[in-house]
Amino acid sequence: MMNQRIDDKIIDRLVEISGEKSVLTDDIERYLYDETEELVRPEADKNCVVVRPSTYEEVSKILQAANELGFSVLVRGGGTGACGAAIPTKPSVILSMEKFNKILEVDKVGMMVTAQAGVSLFQLNEYLDKEAHELYFPCHPGDEGAHLGGIAVENAGGVRAVKHGIMRNYVKGLTVALPSGQIVKLGGKLLKNNMGLDLMHLIVGSEGILCIVLEVIFKLHPRMEYTGAMVASFNNAEDAVNSVVATQISGIVPLAVEYMDRDIAVKTAEQISGNWPMNDDGKVDIIYMLESRAEDELYEMAEKIDEIARENGGLDCVIAESKKDQKNILDVRSAIYEVFKPIFVDSLDAAVPVCHINDFLKDIDEIADKFATTSPRVGHVADGNFHNFILRSEDGSTPDWADEMRRDIYTAALKYGGTVTAEHGTGKTRKAYLDMQYPREVIDIMKNIKKAFDPNHILNPGVVVD
Amino acid sequence: MMNQRIDDKIIDRLVEISGEKSVLTDDIERYLYDETEELVRPEADKNCVVVRPSTYEEVSKILQAANELGFSVLVRGGGTGACGAAIPTKPSVILSMEKFNKILEVDKVGMMVTAQAGVSLFQLNEYLDKEAHELYFPCHPGDEGAHLGGIAVENAGGVRAVKHGIMRNYVKGLTVALPSGQIVKLGGKLLKNNMGLDLMHLIVGSEGILCIVLEVIFKLHPRMEYTGAMVASFNNAEDAVNSVVATQISGIVPLAVEYMDRDIAVKTAEQISGNWPMNDDGKVDIIYMLESRAEDELYEMAEKIDEIARENGGLDCVIAESKKDQKNILDVRSAIYEVFKPIFVDSLDAAVPVCHINDFLKDIDEIADKFATTSPRVGHVADGNFHNFILRSEDGSTPDWADEMRRDIYTAALKYGGTVTAEHGTGKTRKAYLDMQYPREVIDIMKNIKKAFDPNHILNPGVVVD
């Protein structure tokens, strides 16, 4: 039933619900792909129609129609995902959240924001900067075009997860449309809620297969007056990792701790016409982002990080004194993905326990040797999460061995009790590896949970376990 | 099927699986109740048998037998719960976790502990103090007899949730026996995992209805060298709450922020032969627990808290200089529940958004007036979570209006977007109020999730949605 074509009957119904202007049948290319790597992403089915509802009631009616007429609904946020969850692989009604773009409330007392799911991260950050400057939203997955609903259902991570955690820690309330069309509120402006099973935390990370998120309530944090960035360089990955571990154990809590192969940093810096502050012989750089209520505490942290780095073989340590220098470092980190995208097939997202990072990185190097390639990487090192690149062939194509290499790396991560995907999500591109990580019975439970929410399988077909 | 009596056939099978010494049919009184308030808790069904398995394989076999023979299995941890989840209300095999009491690993690099579910909080804290003093487990639900498996499935809160959050934030991995008997690992020593639906986060807070937790992996934190406690006094709740809010917004992050009615503090202090440090005319005291890497930062925090308190009508502020004075304050806070238990019917656990705390507290006072009673309270004020007491009649019985008062308070909390239970759990005692908070369809989804894990309904019957 769910493979049925999107025909005039369906389109007529959508027009009836949302009006002609809100239903697009032509020029819908920009709704068909997300940020998933070109050589990895599935092909989009062109038999799609885009509907852009303006009210929650319209969303309910579209879902009711989907159950009645038997069509698939694919929820479209900012299109910044990296697991193909937003690419229609079957004929689908693409339900774009773009009109749900209102920030509804910033609660300065409880430090929470309530916003519609289609608000972008950029929009939120800009709003807070201007209207509630004392507060900010630390979580920062790469692309600020991401919608708030999207980063909630994808349980996004990003560089700033070290101090305040991943998205799950920020999500306090969700207003969702269940697949039946009923709209319900889960959680709230609450720091604690133990009533019933926690469906909200199940929805976080569920990639849109359980319901459509209409509104989010996110925790905000007081903006710290003093921020800083510094880079420490090392001869090799092992020294760098050991230094990061020692810093964490010392009780210092940076906002972010990022690992970069020097080659990647330098090449990226060249591309964005910036320059990279490190010019020693190091092979690996670690970026620290710091924040503090007090200036002297910031400097004390920086000094301590420097000291620990040197104790662990650190070569040099550069503190970005000016806002401009800080920005340059962060811009380089942010640009890596775009700069390297044309030369890699896939950017992996495995994570391992922190105590096994060095073993895992050595395994990856050996695996790369086996395939006579290299695997450049950046990573959220304090989280044990690395984005290793599988490089393209010289002619730009996918090497024959790409999937074998990918599976070898996943096998290595899982051997250490790791995970295939730490933050980018399962979606459509990592679904095939689900049984490497979970036994059949666990996957079956996930499938039955999907069924408990969405008995007719109308939402986001083909994602995670559907 | 699930109401069947525990007969010889079942007992024989348990003896076959775990050995005669591990099966108790007599003197099982101590396995029948938990810490739920005496006048609120359900009556235990005496037709129970206790089995104390020593291996995970035995747990699997018991679950398989339960599916085959059709008996209910009630998981028993430390028996410190406060929602009746561990009280058998039907004939049951009580599966005690007491023999699973090993701490398996403290990973000092990744700062994680792996332990069997039957390890008590006391045992963990003592172990860390001696064997890994540089690390600690901040989460502290009242009773240290609680088992680690229990605080994970109950998503326990406690006084120290302000800085590091509730149990959900600490739970990184679980090894569980599914109701089928299959043993699976979810999560791990991982800070991030987005593979598949997050069953681990669904199990946190599920109160034992989905699976039996065998092992936990909890995040630890570096032990801070400097700790402090201070008490600020206020004329009324409103000033106290406003002061707490202003402190939070300032960016100070205390470990704990506790609200106490002065009467409660003084009465409790008298009972435990300590004395209460505040002797002004204040009606409400706020305890702050602080920790810091640096002594000067600790003092700076305390000074700032003092300053903010005075700006918000604070009367006095006392810093506990010595460890002994700190301990006294915390001992008083810890003893409240036991001291007041004989005079209250119920200790509520509602929470509201921080911005509505004052409205909510005023509503509670009005509700108490309506029933010509008072409702003394303590509370995790920074979390918006208050334990309001419903007092007994003078003869020690439950007043006729007790449930009406309870429902009025829940209605007030829900009006502000709050929750019936923030940390004590739904269990058997708050299940009746589930439909005040959630519409039927949400409860049905919860029921179907239970079914996805436990199609024969063998685990913890009568809890949450079963």
The whole-angstrom separation of Cα B21 and Cα A221 is: 54
ipTM of model = 0.97
Question: Domain A103-222 belongs to what topology?
Answer: 3.30.465
pLDDT digits (tens, 9 = 90+) for A67-126: 999 999 999 999 999 999 999 999 999 999 999 999 999 999 999 999 999 999 999 999
Burial class (CB in 10 A: 0-12, 13-18, 19+), B43: exposed
Report phi then psi at B69, rounded to 5. -90, -15
Measured between beta carbons, the chain B residues lying within 8 angstroms of A224 are 251
B408 touching A, CB under 8 A? no
Q: Report H helices in B177-294.
A: 199-203, 237-249, 262-271
Give the closest-approach CA distance of B13 to chain A in angstroms: 25
A354 touching B, CB under 8 A? yes
- Sort strands A377-380 and A385-391 into parallel, antiparallel or unpaired: antiparallel
Spacing of C-alpha A187 from chain mean position: 22
Q: Would the pLDDT of A273 be above 90?
A: no
Q: How confident is the model at residue B4 (pLDDT cuts 50, 70, 90)?
A: confident
Q: What number is the average pLDDT over the span B30-53?
A: 96
Give the closest-approach CA distance of A208 to chain B in angstroms: 11
Q: Would the pLDDT of A344 be above 70?
A: yes
Q: What number is the average pLDDT over the span B77-100?
A: 96
Helix (H, G, I), strand (E, B) or coil at B142: coil
Alpha-carbon distances, residue B5 vs B1, B48, B62, B295, B362 (angstroms) = 10, 8, 16, 61, 49
- Kindly compute the dihedral angle of the four CA atoms of residues B236, B240, B246, B248, in this order, to the nearest 10 degrees: -160
Q: What number is the average pLDDT over the span B104-108?
A: 98
The whole-angstrom separation of Cα B310 and Cα B230 is: 14
Give the closest-approach CA distance of A202 to chain B in angstroms: 6
The answer to whether A221 and A135 have CB atoms below 8 angstroms apart is yes
Interface-testing mutation among A195, A216, A303, A358, with chain B (most B C-beta atoms within 10 A) = A195
Q: How confident is the model at residue B344 (pLDDT cuts 50, 70, 90)?
A: very high
Which one is the CATH code of A226-338: 3.30.70.2190, 3.50.50.60, 3.90.850.10, 3.40.50.2300?
3.30.70.2190
- Helices A237-249 and A357-370: angle between axes, nearest 10 degrees: 160
B161 touching A, CB under 8 A? yes
pLDDT digits (tens, 9 = 90+) for A98-112: 999 999 999 999 999
Inter-chain touch B190–A437, beta carbons under 8 Å? no
A189 touching B, CB under 8 A? yes
The whole-angstrom separation of Cα A14 and Cα A17 is: 5
The whole-angstrom separation of Cα A35 and Cα A346 is: 12
Inter-chain touch A197–B465, beta carbons under 8 Å? yes
The answer to whether B86 and B76 have CB atoms below 8 angstroms apart is yes
pLDDT digits (tens, 9 = 90+) for A175-220: 999 999 999 999 999 999 999 999 999 999 999 999 999 999 999 9
- Helices B237-249 and B357-370: angle between axes, nearest 10 degrees: 160
The three-point CA angle A93-A99-A101 to 5° equals 130
Question: Which residue in the set B189, B196, B199 is minimally distant from A434, CB to CB?
Answer: B196
Inter-chain touch B426–A188, beta carbons under 8 Å? no
Listed in sequence order, the residues at least 6 apart from A327 whose beta carbon sits closer than 8 Å to its beta carbon are none
The whole-angstrom separation of Cα A352 and Cα A347 is: 16
A89-115 core/surface letters (b: 16 or more CB in 10 A; e: else): bbbbbbbbbbebeebeebbbbbbbbbb
The whole-angstrom separation of Cα B118 and Cα B128 is: 16
The answer to whether A113 and A217 have CB atoms below 8 angstroms apart is yes
A414 touching B, CB under 8 A? no
Spacing of C-alpha B94 from chain mean position: 21
Size of the A and B interface in Cβ pairs below 8 Å? 283
> What's residue A322's pLDDT?
87
Give the closest-approach CA distance of A12 to chain B in angstroms: 29
Neighbour count for residue B322 (Cβ, 10 Å): 8
Q: Would the pLDDT of B220 be above 70?
A: yes
> What's residue A262's pLDDT?
96
Give the closest-approach CA distance of A190 to chain B in angstroms: 5
Q: How confident is the model at residue B274 (pLDDT cuts 50, 70, 90)?
A: confident
Query: Average model confidence (pLDDT) for chain B?
Result: 96
Question: Which residue in the set B110, B430, B449 is minimally distant from A452, CB to CB?
Answer: B449
Measured between beta carbons, the chain B residues lying within 8 angstroms of A134 are 249
Neighbour count for residue A25 (Cβ, 10 Å): 13
Inter-chain touch A194–B161, beta carbons under 8 Å? no
Q: Report H helices in A285-356.
A: 295-311, 323-340
Give the closest-approach CA distance of A275 to chain B in angstroms: 32
Query: Average model confidence (pLDDT) for chain A?
Result: 96
Inter-chain touch A385–B191, beta carbons under 8 Å? yes
- Domain limits, chain A: 8-99, 103-222, 226-338, 339-430
The whole-angstrom separation of Cα A393 and Cα B211 is: 47
The whole-angstrom separation of Cα B369 and Cα B381 is: 22
The answer to whether A463 and A425 have CB atoms below 8 angstroms apart is no
Question: Domain B339-430 belongs to what topology?
Answer: Alpha-Beta Plaits (3.30.70)
Do the domains A226-338 and A339-430 sit in the same CATH topology, yes or no? yes
pLDDT digits (tens, 9 = 90+) for B256-270: 999 999 999 999 999
Inter-chain touch B421–A195, beta carbons under 8 Å? yes
> What's residue A142's pLDDT?
82
Q: Would the pLDDT of B62 be above 90?
A: yes
pLDDT digits (tens, 9 = 90+) for A402-450: 999 999 999 999 999 999 999 999 999 999 999 999 999 999 999 999 9
> What's residue A3's pLDDT?
57
For residue A367 the two structure tokens come to 């695996």
Q: What number is the average pLDDT over the span B405-425?
A: 98
* Percent over 70 (pLDDT), chain B: 99
Rounded to a whole number of angstroms, the CA Rg of chain B reads: 23
> What's residue A2's pLDDT?
54
* Closest chain B CA to residue A444: B452
> What's residue B466's pLDDT?
82
> What's residue A53's pLDDT?
98
Measured between beta carbons, the chain A residues lying within 8 angstroms of B188 are 353, 417-419
Question: Domain B8-99 belongs to what topology?
Answer: 3.30.43
Of the listed ranges A47-56, A395-404, B1-10, B236-245, the least confidently predicted one is B1-10
